[in-house]
Amino acid sequence: MTSDPRDTRTVFWDNGQVCMIDQRLIPFEFKINHYDDYAQVADAIRTMVVRGAPAIGAAAAYGIALAARISRATDVASLQADLREASDVLAKSRPTAVNLFWAINRMNARAQELIAGGADADSVRAGLLEEANKVADEDIEINQRMGAYGAALVPDGATIIHHCNTGALATVGWGTALGVIRSAHAAGKHIHVLVDETRPRLQGARLTSWELQNEGIPHTVIVDGASGHYLRRTKVDLCVVGADRIAANGDTANKIGTYNLAVVAKANNVPFYVVAPFSTIDLSIAHGDLIPIEEREMDEVLRVNGERIAPVDVQAGNPAFDVTPHEYITAIVTERGVIYPPFDVNLRKASE
């Protein structure tokens, strides 16, 4: 592991432990947490030590590898039972990001494949760690491919609105929507990013701004409610966002406030791009109304940095995500290329 935050993977394996950048502390402190039990990994996902769909997927993959490592099973049947228990615990950590379930399923499928091939318990353990490392390595490669596809959509001199955090911190490395911005910057394009602060946890103001500052990319933090003003009164060239789950028809679940931004972008004829790996696309779900939306604790809305900002006994709604209907989305940038409407046809074509 490097001491440079820019080169540190968000999630990685070190000396038999799952390690994660504690994103709750950024930008004020850069700290690596170490976990030696899969239940701790699940709690880290739930409490948002790690967040962002691809990063959650990698954390879950390492959580399964860790479950195999700490299992006392000496035979594959007992090991499978322990893996089923770990899978259940990890799956309950957060409901919306499909990468979580994709990673758990991939790891269990690999275990089954190894067992079918005659592997003993220790060989399954080794194979699962290798698979988790592949999930992490592939994530960075995929993000860089998406970055290249997306950067081609960014004109030189562009002003870009970005919502939440979709950078290296939301993935294992490089980023999805923010990866597009990084790739455009690396290609020499002169860009400026308007960073939605992203209430209630301020992932834009805390995390995206921190990443952009580290990369030397010009940006301005704006309150979420100001995006309409900037879209109408200034020259905004495009909006880019990530995704936590994309339905078969292109409806996209992403951080709360994404739907608002998409509607106002369309009203002002500004392209709205979703950037996500194919592991985020859930073709088993027909449309976005079927995507489960996580409701988080009221205190995330009623308090900022532990200080209450609303009267005592006031109730708060805190959906972590909303669903943007596909008609507001210009295109979906994936590692397989840029996918345009009709999404119900072209997402399936790209998956074949």
Question: Contact at 8 Å (CB) between 274 and 347?
Answer: no
Active-site residue flag, 244: yes
Q: Which residue type sits at 86? A: A
Reduced to 3 states, what is the DSSP secondary structure of residue 249? coil
Whole-angstrom distance, CA of residue 32 vs CA of residue 50: 11
Marked catalytic residue, from 139, 224, 244, 282: 244
Angle at 27 between CA 100 and CA 166, to 5 degrees: 35
Angle, helices 53-70/121-151, rounded to nearest 10 degrees = 170
CA 260 to chain centroid, in Å, comes to: 19
Give the residue carrying structure tokens 């709750």. Answer: 24
Cβ neighbours around 351 below 10 Å, total: 13
Whole-angstrom distance, CA of residue 261 vs CA of residue 281: 21
Whole-angstrom distance, CA of residue 109 vs CA of residue 121: 15
The backbone torsions φ and ψ at residue 67, rounded to the nearest 5 degrees and listed phi first, read: -60, -40
Whole-angstrom distance, CA of residue 265 vs CA of residue 47: 32
Reduced to 3 states, what is the DSSP secondary structure of residue 334? strand
Whole-angstrom distance, CA of residue 215 vs CA of residue 228: 27
Active site (catalytic) residues: 244
